[in-house]
Amino acid sequence: MKQYLLIDIGGTFIKYSLTDAHAQKVSGGKVPTPLTGMDDLLAAIEGFAAPWKGQFEGCAVSMPGRIDTKRGIAHTGGILSGFMWEQPFAALLEQQLGVPVTIANDGKCAAAAEAWTGSLAGVDNGLVLVLGTGIGGGIILNGKVYMGSHSAAGEVSNLVTELGSMEGDDFRFDVIGKVAESPVWAGKASASGLIAAYAAEKQLPAHGPQPTGEEIFAAYAAGEPEACRALKKFARRVALGIIGLQSVL
């Protein structure tokens, strides 16, 4: 039975699995995402892939950023962009793992998966959103994932939602990389935005420990007022962005 190593590099965790050709998970896990450099990222991947060497015939990587899948180039890397800039990331992983590697934007991977075996199976046109550290997006047009002329279609994280904060001459566009502080949709409608909203409701210190998304949803399920208010704000922000996307797509 053919098996493949699947890797999802997120802003907080790298999630991985050994999966067969029918999309059935054999085994898997997650490790924290190193944000300190390429060598540390490759070492983390080697750490969980090594025990499975010889058991998989190829590797598919889902990751943030503007990714040229055909050439295996990560032009940008989202939260990894400090070191993931114009990098031949597929080739680096092939050298390390010894198998063919395909890399693709995380939102496009999600769209491809939903179109294959998920909620978009048989749907001609659709949109997938991934609410993580940022917001991943994948567009299905005429039954296929739409890549765009510059491999950037579906990069909905950077949709500007707060124009007023950008009008001053002293505005720096690089604040967009600081998700919770930025004037773009991901600033308020990503998991980072949800955590920031909940922290504000709880009046948590900015530099103290922050809750996880799982903890916030658990608090919501338990009926905690602060969690209920934060989730209501979060859902509204997500919905307003979807309304805008619907008017375009």
pLDDT by residue (tens digit) across 204-248?
998 889 899 999 999 999 999 999 999 999 999 999 999 999 988
Tens-digit pLDDT profile for residues 148-157:
988 889 988 8
Instruction: Identify the pLDDT of residue 163.
Output: 65
* CB-based contact 179:133 (threshold 8 Å): yes
Average pLDDT over residues 101-105: 97
Residue 114 has pLDDT above 80, yes or no: yes
Residue 144 falls within a domain, yes or no? no
Are the CB atoms for 185 and 241 separated by under 8 Å? yes
Same domain, 8 and 93: yes
Q: Tell me: do 7 and 100 sit in the same domain.
A: yes
Does some domain include residue 114?
A: no
The count of domains in the chain is 2
pLDDT of residue 165: 59
Give mean pLDDT, residues 53-62.
Answer: 96
Q: Count Cβ atoms within 10 A of the Cβ of residue 158 and give its class: 0-12 exposed, 13-18 middle, 19 or more buried.
A: middle
Between 169 and 233, name the one with better pLDDT: 233
- Containing structural domain, residue 193: 159-248
Query: What's the mean pLDDT when you consider all of the chain?
Result: 90
Which of residues 89, 105, 121 is at a domain's end? 105
As separate numbers, helices (DSSP H) first and strands (DSSP E) second, the chain gives 7, 10
CA atoms within 13 A on the CB side of 67: 28
Domain shared by 100 and 9, yes or no = yes
Q: How much is the pLDDT for 207?
A: 86
The last residue of a domain, from among 83, 105, 127: 105
Query: Residue 234 and residue 170: Cα distance in Å, rounded?
Result: 29
pTM (2 d.p.): 0.82
**Same domain, yes or no, for 8 and 98?**
yes
**Token pair listed for 228:** 């209920």
Residue 74 lies in a domain: yes
Indicate the residue type of 27.
Answer: S
Last residue of a domain, one of 105, 135, 168: 105
Quick one: 8 and 101 in the same domain? yes
Q: Report yes or no on 115 lying in a domain.
A: no
Q: What is the pLDDT of residues 79-92, one digit of tens each?
A: 898 899 999 999 99
Q: What is the CATH number of the domain that holds 77?
A: 3.30.420.40
Give the pLDDT score at 175: 44
With 50 as the cut, is the pLDDT of residue 192 above it? yes
Quick check: is 153 in a domain? no
The whole-number average pLDDT for the span 18-24 is: 92
